[in-house]
Amino acid sequence: MGSELVGTLNYWLAAVLLLIGLQGMLMRRNLVKKLMAMNVMQVAVIMFFISLAMKTSGTAPIELPGVTDVDAYINPLPHALMLTAIVVGVSTTGVALALLIRIYRYYGTLEEPELLERMQE
Partner 1 sequence: MRSPFGSSILDAACRLPVPLVMLFAVYVIIHGHDSPGGGFQGGAILAATVMLIRMVRGEDDVWGLDRTRAALLACCGVGLYAGIGLLTILCNGNYLDYGVLPLPLKPEKVRFMGTLGIEIGVAMGVTGVLVLIFDALTEGETQEGDDGK
Partner 2 sequence: MTPFRTRQNLIWLVILVAAGILFYAGSQLPPVGDPRSPAATHVSPYYIEHSHHETGAPNFVTAVLADYRGYDTLGETTVIFTAGLACLLILGVELGRSRPGEEP
- Within residues 29-68, the interface with partner 1 by CB under 8 A covers 60, 62
Which residues make Cβ contacts (< 8 Å) with residue 37, sequence separation at least 6?
20, 21, 22, 23, 24, 25, 28
Alpha carbons 116 and 36: distance in angstroms, whole number: 21
Q: State in angstroms the smallest separation of the CB of 27 from partner 2.
A: 6
Which residues make Cβ contacts (< 8 Å) with residue 78, sequence separation at least 6?
49, 50, 52, 53
Which residues make Cβ contacts (< 8 Å) with residue 46, sequence separation at least 6?
82, 85, 86, 89
Binding status of residue 51 toward partner 2 by CB under 8 A: yes
Identify what 120 binds: partner 1, partner 2, none; CB under 5 to 8 Å per kind.
none
- Determine contact, residues 22/45, Cβ cutoff 8 Å: no
Give the residue with the Cβ less far from partner 2, 51 or 109: 51
Binding status of residue 104 toward partner 1 by CB under 8 A: yes
Considering only CA atoms, which of 55, 57, 97 is closest in space to residue 77?
55
Q: How many residues bind partner 1 (CB under 8 A)?
A: 17
Interacting residues with partner 2 (CB under 8 A): 4, 7-12, 15, 18-19, 22-23, 26-27, 51-58, 61-63, 68, 70-71, 73, 75-80, 83-84, 87-88, 90-92, 94-95, 98-99, 101-102
Interacting residues with partner 1 (CB under 8 A): 60, 62, 83, 86-87, 90, 94, 97-98, 101, 104-109, 118
